Amino acid sequence: MRFGKTVATVVVASGLVAACNLAVDSRLDVRTATQFVKPGDDITGHVINPDGKIVVALQNFVTHELTTCIYKSGKKTFTCPTSTDAEGLYVVGVTDSSQPDSGTQKARVAVTAIDDYAPQVSVQEKAAAGEDVAVSLLMWGADRTVTVKVLDKDKTTVFSGKTTTESDGSGKVVVPGLKQGSYALEVADRLWTIGGPASDTRLALSVSN
């Protein structure tokens, strides 16, 4: 993952200080309270920068079945109930009648009975050519098969490896030395994906000589 700095530029003229290019981003967005809930628990969150009529819906990622969620305009919050047999990947979608250009803003949520399931990945961002790179896994649940893929700039898979997690949900996959270049990593089990086109998170690896 990359972290950048946000820099505010100020201009001093005639004894006055004026902030430049500090426009506030007011585009529609959505944030869920958590990305992982137990079956039967509510999916909750906030709608960011609502302006008109808000519609919040929950869609099953596989069946595409849609259910309407409860939205409270005063608090800008929503609640999407789930059933006890609702395990799987879901997408919360938010639309605003006053912001048609924003389309549908989405957030992924996994509904699962797996204990302590909140997948995390730790991997270095830079490596030397030929150097092995360890991809560490945390909180993927016990005895889960997790696949790690490495894709080059042409989105061709240059490495694919699997591991079965330990009882504490941890695991590790070692990527053998790669040649110089820029790569993207995709880590997934049959429920959740980190990195790659199906994820909001980017896992990048830069390999240099």
If pLDDT is split at 50, 70 and 90, which confidence band does 44 have? very high
User: Is residue 18 scored above 60 in pLDDT?
Assistant: no
Residue 158 has pLDDT above 70, yes or no: yes
Of the pLDDT bands very low, low, confident and very high (cuts 50, 70, 90), residue 26 is confident
67 in Cβ contact with 109 (< 8 Å): no
**Is 135 within 8 Å of 172 (Cβ atoms)?**
yes
**Could you read off the pLDDT of 32-41 as tens digits, one per residue?**
999 999 999 9
Q: Contact, 205 vs 177, CB < 8 A? A: no
Query: What secondary structure letter does DSSP report for 177?
Result: P
Query: Sheet holding 43-48: strands in order across?
Result: 29-32, 43-48, 77-80, 70-72
What SS3 state is found at 102? Answer: helix
Kindly state the average pLDDT of the residues 149-171. Answer: 97
Question: In whole angstroms, what is the distance from residue 35 CA to residue 25 CA?
Answer: 24
Neighbours of 26 (CB within 10 A): 11
* Per-residue model confidence (pLDDT) at position 25: 53
The answer to whether the beta carbons of residues 117 and 110 sit under 8 Å apart is yes
pLDDT at 31 over 70: yes
Average pLDDT, the chain: 88
Q: Tell me if 150 sits within 8 A of 183, measured CB to CB.
A: yes
pTM above 0.75, yes or no: yes
Domains in the chain: ranges and CATH: 29-111 (2.60.40.1930), 120-208 (2.60.40.1930)
Phi and psi at 101, nearest 5°, equal: -70, -20
Listing from the earlier edge strand, what are the strands of the sheet with 133-138? 120-122, 133-138, 171-175
Q: How confident is the model at residue 11 (pLDDT cuts 50, 70, 90)?
A: very low
Q: What mean pLDDT comes out for the span 80-102?
A: 94
- Model confidence pLDDT, tens digit, residues 45-64: 999 999 999 999 999 999 99
Confidence check: pLDDT of 78 > 60: yes
pLDDT of residue 110 exceeding 60: yes
For residue 147, what are its two tokens?
């696949």
Phi, psi of 100 (to 5 degrees): -60, -30
